[in-house]
Amino acid sequence: MFEMPLPPSPGAREHSSIDLVNSELHLPGGRVYDALSTPEATTAWLIERGLVGEGASLQSYCQNRMVGLRGDVREVFAARVTGAAVDPRALAGINAALAAAPHASLLHYAPDEGFFRSMEHPATRLVEHAMSVVAEDAAALLASDAAGLLAQCEAEPCSRFLLKTHGRRQWCSTRCGDRVRAARSYARKRTQMNPMPK
């Protein structure tokens, strides 16, 4: 595994669902970056985002569930962006994640502290809690006015999602925008050097 080659796309810091979908990135040359490639990498990704506590350790079953949710959210985001029909299985996957764990803080009691609330869940429910938080974010985003700002990066082979912040720009990063502009410039120069015969 290697470090994420691009900064977060617009909207990924505010929306854990965009961040999750973008945790897999297709790079030029056929390389693929996958932040959820192993149980350890998945655990680190979730800890970094505050979705599970420090010291958590997820198994491959939990990793596979997070990867499955990523696929479901990607499918629904792509349908929203392209206007395609929504796959009912992807929608069912998101709804299952929504219902898997409570979103409310649990009530706890400690003799020296009294009653307090926290988002801690039993160790067996860590992945369910993380998935429900991401699914809630995806559902809230898709059902909001901001859904119209959801876009997919237009720089091949990148397929990251973003929220359009201004104008028609549909690139997830400066690097992707530079790559598109360089390709267009190269194509123009090539056309100028080899004009079409009349």
**Using one digit for the tens of pLDDT, what is the confidence trace for 80-127?**
999 999 999 999 999 999 988 665 667 778 889 888 777 655 555 788
Interval 121-141 mean pLDDT: 83
More confident residue, 25 or 184: 25
Instruction: Give domain status of residue 145, yes or no.
Output: yes
Interval 43-60 mean pLDDT: 91
Instruction: Give domain status of residue 163, yes or no.
Output: yes
CA atoms of 154 and 179, how far apart (whole Å): 10
Please tell me the total count of domains within the chain: 1
Instruction: Give domain status of residue 191, yes or no.
Output: no
**pLDDT above 50: residue 138:** yes
Instruction: Give domain status of residue 189, yes or no.
Output: no
Instruction: Give domain status of residue 179, yes or no.
Output: no
Range of the domain at 33: 16-118+125-172
What is the residue-averaged pLDDT of the chain?
84
CA atoms of 118 and 192, how far apart (whole Å): 64
Instruction: Give domain status of residue 162, yes or no.
Output: yes
Instruction: Give domain status of residue 194, yes or no.
Output: no
Task: Please report, rounded to a whole number, the percentage of residues in the chain having pLDDT higher than 90.
Answer: 46
Residue type, 94: I
**143-156 pLDDT tens trace:** 999 999 999 888 88
**The tokens of 60 are what?**
């491959």
CA atoms of 77 and 146, how far apart (whole Å): 12
Residue 21: in which H helix or E strand, if any?
A: helix 16-21
**pLDDT above 80: residue 43:** yes
Reported pTM: 0.79
Residue 188 has a pLDDT of 65
Instruction: Give domain status of residue 195, yes or no.
Output: no
**The tokens of 70 are what?**
């990523």
Residue 2 has a pLDDT of 44
What CATH number does residue 36 fall under?
1.10.3300.10
